[in-house]
Amino acid sequence: MRNLGDIAILMRDAMKEQKVTQQDLRERAGIARRTLTGVLSGEADYKVTTLMAVLDRLGYEMVIVPKAAARAVPTQWEPTEPVVKTKVQIAIEKLNQLSPEK
C-alpha cells in the first residue's frame, strides 16, 4: 500500500466482507464518527494509533518492513490470472473449438 487511499479501500472492503457497519466499527475502535469518516475517506490525515485501532477491530495488524522486502510480497490489488480454470471457462473453450472459425 502506498497511500491513505489504498488503506481506506482495504478497510472498506473488510467492512463489507465482515458485514460491519461504520457505527459498529466506530464503537469497537472507540473513535468519533467524524474520525472514522475521515479514515475511510482516504483523504484525511489521522494518528497512527487510530489506524492501528481500526485495523485491529477489522482483524488486521500493521507491519512495517523494509522496502526491499515489501516489493517481494505481491499485493492483493494486482489482478492475476486464476491457476485453475472454471467450469464456465472450460465450456467456452469447448464451444470455441466446435464453432467454425470466421
pLDDT tens digits for 1-55?
678 999 999 999 999 999 999 999 999 999 999 999 999 999 888 899 999 999 9
Is-contact 87 59, C-beta < 8 A? no
3-state secondary structure of 87: helix
Q: Which domain holds residue 52?
A: 4-74
pTM beyond 0.85: no
Report pLDDT for 99: 73
Q: Tell me, yes or no, whether 80 lies in a domain.
A: no
Q: Tell me, yes or no, whether 19 lies in a domain.
A: yes
Q: Tell me, yes or no, whether 55 lies in a domain.
A: yes
Report pLDDT for 83: 72
Q: Tell me, yes or no, whether 96 lies in a domain.
A: no
Q: Tell me, yes or no, whether 30 lies in a domain.
A: yes
Instruction: Count the alpha carbons within 13 Å of 81 in the hemisphere toward its beta carbon.
Output: 4
- Number of domains composing the chain: 1
CATH of the domain at 54: 1.10.260.40
Dihedral sign for Cα 81, 73, 17, 42, please.
negative
pLDDT tens digits for 48-80?
999 999 999 999 988 888 888 877 776 665 556
